[in-house]
Amino acid sequence: MRKVITYGTYDLIHVGHINLLKRAKELGDYLVVVLSSDEFNAIKHKTAYHSFEDRKIILESIKYVDEVIPEFNWEQKISDVIDNDIDVFVMGDDWKGEFDFLKDYCEVVYLPRTEGISTTKIKNDLHLGAKVR
């Protein structure tokens, strides 16, 4: 079995997330999504609309996702790859080169993002819409 892993906050799920998860799953037989914990988001100065528990439930309901585990820090990636017998690490291409150190442990693939959509864009659009009204 070929196992794939990817990471993210996955807040306000949108078509870009689905496209990334689908393409990640196509690279193997089993997809592990490592989901940023609320504590880790705080360290990154990032705020999610949904709690970790809710984001995990949402991700688990997506047909491409086989397992969701928490991310607590930047440093856990090597141990996640080793502990979960991962063959392929996948991230969006906006991270290109940042995780090449994992090539000693697995294949590293950077996938193109879906143009015109991001959680940040959605939040900004909603925020601007709220001001207009």
Q: Is the dihedral of CA 43, 22, 107, 53 positive or negative?
A: positive
Using left for φ > 0, alpha for ψ between -120 and 50, and beta otherwise, residue 42 falls in alpha
> Is residue 46 annotated as part of the catalytic site, yes or no?
yes
Q: Look at residue 89 and give its three-state secondary structure.
A: strand
Nearest-angstrom CA–CA distance, 39 and 54: 15
Catalytic one among 22, 46, 103, 121? 46
Choose, from 3, 22, 25, 44, the residue flagged as catalytic.
44
Is 103 catalytic? The answer is: no
Please give the positions annotated as active site: 44, 46
